[in-house]
Amino acid sequence: MDYNELIAKYPAFIYHGYDITELDEGMKIVYNFETVGLTEFHPYWIFPKKGIRRDDPVFEEFVFSLGMVELVSYWKAACPPRVLVECGYLCDEQIAWWKKLYYHGLGEFFYTNGIDTDMNRFMTIETAGADQKRVISADKPLKGCMIPVGGGKDSIVTLHVLSRCGGTEDNMCFMMNHRNSAFCSALLAGYRPESVYRPKRYLDRTIVELNKQGFLNGHTPLSALIAFAASMSAYLSGRKYVVLSNESSANEASVAGSDVNHQYSKSFEFEKDFADYLEKFLPCGVQYFSLLRPLSEIQIAAIFAGLKEFHPVFRSCNAGNAGTKFDTWCLECSKCLFVTMILSPFLTDGEIKDIFRINLLNAKSDKMKLYFEQLVGMHASKPFECVGSVDEINFAMCLAISKRQARGEALPFLLEYYTTTPAYQKYKDSPNVYADYFDEVNLIPDEMKKCVRECASECKW
C-alpha cells in the first residue's frame, strides 16, 4: 500500500496501556495498542514470577518502556504520524530518545519500502499528562551477569570469555522464546537449566493478516526490544550486568554512503544511548554493555573456530527458524553464506561441510553469487542481515584463499571466482590489521576487558 495514502487515512496510533495478570506459568503482560480507524493490537509477554512485586515502580516503568519498543512493530503497518501515549509520562528528552530509536531502527524499513521522510516528519509523540511520572528508586542488591544467548557464534564466544572472568555461578542466560541451539549452547558452557531465564513473547497475529492485505511490513529494531526485556529480567533476578555480544562491525551502514543500518540497535551508538537511558530514567543499578564491542567479526570467528564442542549445536540462520522450520541452517540465505565465509579462514572445507552438511562456497546458483558479491562490497548495499564489515569480509576471503593455496588445495567455486574480481586485487596484499585489533570505545567494566584481550590474543591466524 502507498505510504502517503496510509498516513492520511490513519493519522493516529494510541498506546492505551497494559494489563498485568498472575498466571500459574508466570506474570502475563498484555499491551493495548490501536491504529485509530483500523484495528487494535494486543501482544503479550509472560515473565517468570520470581522477583516481581506489583508495587515496584522500577518493574512498572520497565513494563511501560517495553511497550514503547513493542508498539513500533504494529505502528509500522500504517505509520500513523501521531503517536499518543496514554499510560505513562515522557519528558521532552525521552520523547527525543524514542524518536531517534524509531527513526534509525526503522531505517531499513523506510529504505526497502521507498519511504521518503525524516526525523521531524515521520512521527510526533504525545503523552497524556505531566503528572504521571513515576518516582524511580531502587536499592536492590545486584551481582553477576544476564547474558542474552541466541544460539549463534557471537553469544557463544561471550559465554566462553565470561567463563574466564570468574566462572558462571552468579550468571544467568537470557533467552526470549525457546531455541534449542541457544539452550544447548548454555548447557555446554556450564549453565544449569535453572540458570536460564526464559520470558516468552507473543505477537498479535492481526499484524500478520494486515501484512497479507498489503499493509506495510519490514525490519524493526529487535535488539532494542531485547535490551529492555533483558535489563528488566536482570533487575528482577538480581543481576547487575546485561552482557551483549555485539561487535564493532555492527556500526557499519548496510547501504554505502547512508546511515541505513540493519544492525542499528546493535551499534555502539544505540548501546551508549540505552545505557544513558537506564541511568537517567530507569536508575535500577543494571548496567548494559557488549563484551565483544572491542573486537571485529573476524576475530570472533577466529575464537569460535577453536571452540569445537559448540560447532554441532550453534545456529545463526534466521530463515532456518521461521515458518515450519526449526533451528536449522536453511543453506539458501545470505546469513548462512556469511557464516561460512567468515569461518573459512579458520576451518578446512571438510570441517565446514561437517557443520553445514554442504560447503556454500561451492554453491553455483545466481542467488548465492549475488549474496557473495554483496558481502564483499561489489554492490551498493550489503544483505540486510547481521554480517561483518566489507573490509573484514574481504580480508577473510583473502586469508581463506592463501591458506588453501599453501596447503595445495583446490579453491571452492566462490573463492575461485573471487580471485577474478577487482576486490581480490584490492585486498590480496592487505596486512592483517585484525590480529591486534581492539576498539577502545566501549562500555566494558575494567575487570572484564583483560579477559577479552586475552581471548583475542590467542587467536590462531
69 and 214 both lie in a single domain: yes
Round the average pLDDT of the chain to a whole number and report it.
Answer: 95
283 and 352 both lie in a single domain: no
Q: Phi and psi dihedrals of 19, rounded to 5?
A: -120, 135
| CA dist., res. 212 & res. 193, Å (int) | 38
327 and 220 both lie in a single domain: no
CB-based contacts of 65, cutoff 8 Å, min separation 6: 228, 282
Lowest model confidence (mean pLDDT) among 111-115, 137-141, 204-208, 306-310? 137-141
Cβ distance 22 to 42 under 8 Å? no
Please state the domain count of the chain: 2
Q: What percent of the chain has pLDDT over 70?
A: 97
Residue 158 forms part of a structural domain: no
Lowest model confidence (mean pLDDT) among 120-134, 335-349, 425-439, 444-458? 120-134
Lowest model confidence (mean pLDDT) among 134-138, 208-212, 276-280, 338-342? 134-138
Using the CB atoms, write b or e for 426-450: b if 16+ within 10 Å: ebbeeeeebeeebeeebbbeeebbe
Q: What is the pLDDT of residue 391?
A: 97
CA distances from 443 to 170, 241, 287, 412, 440 (A): 20, 11, 9, 40, 9
Query: pLDDT tier at 226 (50, 70, 90 boundaries)?
Result: very high
| CA dist., res. 367 & res. 329, Å (int) | 16
Question: Residue type at 225?
Answer: L
Q: What is the pLDDT of residue 40?
A: 98
Residue 229 forms part of a structural domain: yes
Q: What is the pLDDT of residue 399?
A: 98
360 and 271 both lie in a single domain: no
Q: Tell the residue number behind the cell numbers 492505551, with chain if given.
A: 16
Residue 56 forms part of a structural domain: yes
Query: pLDDT tier at 220 (50, 70, 90 boundaries)?
Result: very high
For residue range 367-414, list pLDDT tens digits in order: 999 999 999 999 999 999 999 999 999 999 999 999 999 999 999 999
For residue range 230-253, list pLDDT tens digits in order: 999 999 999 999 999 999 989 999
Q: What is the pLDDT of residue 159?
A: 97
**Does residue 115 have a pLDDT over 60?**
yes
335 and 257 both lie in a single domain: no
Using the CB atoms, write b or e for 302-326: b if 16+ within 10 Å: bbbbebeebbebbbbbebbbeeeee
89 and 16 both lie in a single domain: yes
Residue 30 forms part of a structural domain: yes
Q: What is the pLDDT of residue 165?
A: 87
32 and 124 both lie in a single domain: yes
Which residue among 290, 309, 332 closes a domain? 290
208 and 79 both lie in a single domain: yes
Which residue among 290, 312, 341 closes a domain? 290
279 and 340 both lie in a single domain: no
Residue 167 forms part of a structural domain: no
Question: Residue type at 49?
Answer: K
Q: CB-hemisphere CA count at 13 Å for 40?
A: 8
**Does residue 137 have a pLDDT over 80?**
no
**Does residue 348 have a pLDDT over 90?**
yes
| CA dist., res. 87 & res. 17, Å (int) | 5
276 and 366 both lie in a single domain: no
Complete DSSP assignment for 244-307: E---GGGGS-SBTTS---TTGGGSHHHHHHHHHHHHHH--SS-EEEETTTTS-HHHHHHHHHT-
Q: What is the pLDDT of residue 49?
A: 92
| CA dist., res. 401 & res. 51, Å (int) | 53
| CA dist., res. 270 & res. 267, Å (int) | 5
The model's pTM: 0.96
Query: pLDDT tier at 104 (50, 70, 90 boundaries)?
Result: very high
15 and 77 both lie in a single domain: yes
| CA dist., res. 369 & res. 283, Å (int) | 49
Lowest model confidence (mean pLDDT) among 132-136, 281-285, 380-384, 437-441? 132-136
For residue range 294-333, list pLDDT tens digits in order: 999 999 999 999 999 999 999 999 888 776 567 899 999 9
Q: Tell the residue number behind the cell numbers 509477554, with chain if given.
A: 45
Q: What percent of the chain has pLDDT over 90?
A: 90
Residue 163 forms part of a structural domain: no
The stretch 168-189 carries a mean pLDDT of 93
Domain containing 104 equals: 3-140+195-290
For residue range 254-305, list pLDDT tens digits in order: 998 899 999 999 999 999 999 999 999 999 999 999 999 999 999 999 999 9
263 and 360 both lie in a single domain: no
| CA dist., res. 296 & res. 345, Å (int) | 14
CA distances from 90 to 238, 281, 285, 377, 443 (A): 26, 10, 21, 41, 26
Which residue among 269, 290, 311 closes a domain? 290
Q: What is the Cα Rg of the chain in Å?
A: 22
Q: What is the pLDDT of residue 327?
A: 85
Query: pLDDT tier at 132 (50, 70, 90 boundaries)?
Result: low
Residue 190 forms part of a structural domain: no
Q: What is the pLDDT of residue 325?
A: 65
Nearest to 178 by CA among 203, 192, 199: 199
| CA dist., res. 155 & res. 176, Å (int) | 14
Q: Tell the residue number behind the cell numbers 511501560, with chain if given.
A: 64
Residue 179 forms part of a structural domain: no
Q: What 3-state class would DSSP assign to 427?
A: helix
Lowest model confidence (mean pLDDT) among 20-24, 29-33, 129-133, 325-329? 129-133
Q: What is the pLDDT of residue 139?
A: 77
